[in-house]
Structure 1
Amino acid sequence: MPLVYADMKLCDIILHEPTLIPVLNRFGITLGIGDKSIRSVCEENSLDTDFFLTILNTFINEEFFPENRLKTFCATQIVDYLTKTNIYYECFQLPNIERHFNSLIQYSGTSGNNLELIHQFFLKVKNELLSRIEHDRAVWFPEIKLLSEKIGNQRPDGIKLPTKGSYDEQNSLEEKLHDLTSLFVMHLSGTIDPNLCYGVIFAIYTLEKDIKQHNRIRNRILLPMNEAMKRGKNDN
């Protein structure tokens, strides 16, 4: 999809890319927006239009990732967005996959299929994501906000991209969600309900896509911002 701009109608963007709806919800934007422009919707909701556009374009276009642009926003602004994203994972997306999975198991029966084994793998991925969310909530995000307050919420200098190895562990969630989908596509056995199966796969795919965008902001912006603030604090 082409890049999104402030004068474009938000309804047209949503109709072209419905997977944006959860992202909009994190900004407090619900459906029923009429034919208003993105700028108008942002003004009505007291949102930073530039930040909103950056997040939308980052989510829609995998090749779009304006590191220099994102660095112009303060760390707490990014933390607040990622906090809302984590809440959405915990309260909506994970329970949605669980509901679909339980229905699939219930209506497909247990004879000759390996749904329970695949479900166990999902539960491991779910627990890994919930563990990361709890660490964000209890440790990492409060640390970033505290550092930001100490430097007066200024944008730190000397932000450098982390080496790939420093965020491989976080990206393992993307890989495991992809592996989970692969289990359905390549190794599913027995008689199952095809429509319910599609519902599970689509819900997992939606979460995987969201996690990819989430991780790019975490790893390529917030992580180096945090390191730069730590260096600045120590230099002072």
Structure 2
Amino acid sequence: MYNRGKYKPTDKMSDLICGNYNSLQVLSRFELPLGFGDQTVQEVCDSFHVDWNTFLAVVNFISEENSRVADDFEGLSVVSLMNYLKQAHHYFLEFQLPSIRCKLNEAIQPAAGDKVAVLIMKYFDSYTEEVRKHMDYEDKHVFRYVEKLLAGERSDGFHITQYARRHDQVEQKLKELKNIIIKYYPANVNNNLLNSVLFDIFCCEDDLISHCEIEDYLFVPIVRRLEEGEK
């Protein structure tokens, strides 16, 4: 049973959220609603049939920035973690990136002749498409492979280590976009709005890094154990 890290199953869920607001994203991706009163982490998770071991593993992994390599996977649920990752994909592709695009477009208002603004929007759209392809591959191939493993079906053509090798860090282009805006976009725009969208891009970048690390350091190892027959 996973019981390592700062947060414990007996902690109040409200204290966890107030002590680490990044946990709101985890809460959402495990499909846990607000309004849980003084219930503990375990009580809230049990109420909504969420594996609290896996929930705490993700929360503690994100909160313990100086300890990014997990080594205790006892009691973690492959299904629960995979559902979390699927919900994260939905959030990035259907909410966060479209929201940033809308806000960015309003902030720079690309017009004919404004080459930098047009370049920024094209770059952002290219980046979004790259993220979509990356996450679609995971949804359609990696997760289906894992679902077959859970059903007892073995595949000779794919192993989770292949996924780990091709798992390039999709946040790199976001760093480049951020630098283009900071270094080259003219200052005669609505600075409050532009600074606000830059803040959103920084947050998105951090969120994507964390997401990729959860895949690399939690998901891949427990699937590898599944491949080896350790459940």
* 1:103 maps to which of 78, 94, 106: 106
Q: Which residue of 2 aligns with 1:146?
A: 148
CA 1:110–1:6 in 2, change beyond 3 Å: closer, same or farther?
farther
Q: Does 1:220 align with 2:217?
A: yes
How many Å apart are 1:218 and its aligned residue?
1.7
Distance 1:68 1:126 in 2: 33
* 2:37 maps to which of 34, 39, 42: 34
CA contact (8 A) 2:14 2:37 kept: yes
Q: Which residue of 2 aligns with 1:188?
A: 185
Q: Which residue of 2 aligns with 1:201?
A: 198
Distance 2:74 2:190 in 1: 47
* 1:179 maps to which of 176, 179, 182: 176
CA contact (8 A) 1:78 1:222 kept: yes
Paired letter, 2:183? M
**Could you give the per-residue CA deviations for residues 161-203 of structure 1, whole angstroms, max 9, x where no partner exists?**
x69x925x521x1222222222222332241211211221122
How many Å apart are 1:226 and its aligned residue?
4.5
How many Å apart are 1:26 and its aligned residue?
1.2
Distance 1:221 1:6 in 2: 19
The structure whose residues are more often helix, as a share, is: 1
How many equivalent pairs are there?
220
Q: Which residue of 1 aligns with 2:165?
A: 166
How many Å apart are 1:86 and its aligned residue?
0.7
Q: Which residue of 1 aligns with 2:120?
A: 118
Q: Does 1:10 align with 2:26?
A: no
Paired letter, 1:188? Y
Distance 1:32 1:110 in 2: 48
Paired letter, 1:69? D
Distance 2:52 2:80 in 1: 13
Distance 2:220 2:42 in 1: 29
CA contact (8 A) 1:114 1:190 kept: no
CA 1:71–1:144 in 2, change beyond 3 Å: closer, same or farther?
farther
Query: Runs of 5+ in structure 1 lacking a partner?
Result: 153-159
How many Å apart are 1:31 and its aligned residue?
2.9
Q: Higher relative contact order at CA 8 Å, sep ≥6: structure 1 or structure 2?
A: 1
Q: Give the TM-score, by structure 1 length.
A: 0.78
* Residues 221-236 of structure 1 aligned to structure 2 (within 5 Å): 221-226=218-223
The structure 1 segments of at least 4 consecutive aligned residues displaced by more than 6 Å after TM superposition are 108-113
Q: How big is the alpha-carbon RMSD for the aligned residues of Structure 1 and Structure 2?
A: 3.1
Q: Which moves more between the two structures, 13-22 or 50-59?
A: 13-22
* 2:70 maps to which of 64, 67, 72: 67
Q: Which moves more between the two structures, 197-206 or 36-45?
A: 36-45
Q: Give the TM-score, by structure 2 length.
A: 0.80
Q: Does 1:58 align with 2:57?
A: no
CA 1:53–1:192 in 2, change beyond 3 Å: closer, same or farther?
same
* Residues 75-86 of structure 1 aligned to structure 2 (within 5 Å): 75-86=78-89
Q: Which moves more between the two structures, 85-94 or 61-70?
A: 61-70
How many Å apart are 1:12 and its aligned residue?
3.1
Q: Which moves more between the two structures, 195-204 or 121-130?
A: 195-204
Paired letter, 2:80? Q
